[in-house]
Amino acid sequence: MSRVTLSFRAPAEFAEQTKALASALSMSASDYVREAVLEKNERAIKARMVFLSKQLSAQHLAENQAMDASAGDGLA
């Protein structure tokens, strides 16, 4: 896996808090931020999957109800 540098601007207070928390966990600030972003990405992906699953379930329910309504059409 190749590595690239990602940089962003943050308030000094955020940077200091991040460094302090990383230090308390015996981590580098880069590792701390990397893990935090990975966790956030995983939560976002999970939330998207839940949203799409609910949409698909709603579609299937509507289709099943439509098929149930046609079950009494006289066909055996």
Cβ 31 vs Cβ 37: under 8 Å: no
- What residue spans define the domains of the chain? 40-68
Give residue 50's region: left, alpha or beta (phi > 0; psi -120 to 50): alpha
In tens, the pLDDT along 8-17 reads 999 999 999 9
Model confidence band, residue 75 (pLDDT cutoffs 50, 70, 90): low
3-state SS assignment for residue 7: coil
- How far apart, in whole angstroms, are the C-alpha atoms of residue 38 and residue 16? 21
Q: What is the pLDDT of residue 65?
A: 81
Q: Give the model confidence (pLDDT) of 29-73 as tens digits.
A: 999 999 999 999 999 999 999 999 999 998 888 888 877 777 666
**Residue 25, pLDDT score:** 97
pLDDT at res. 73: 60
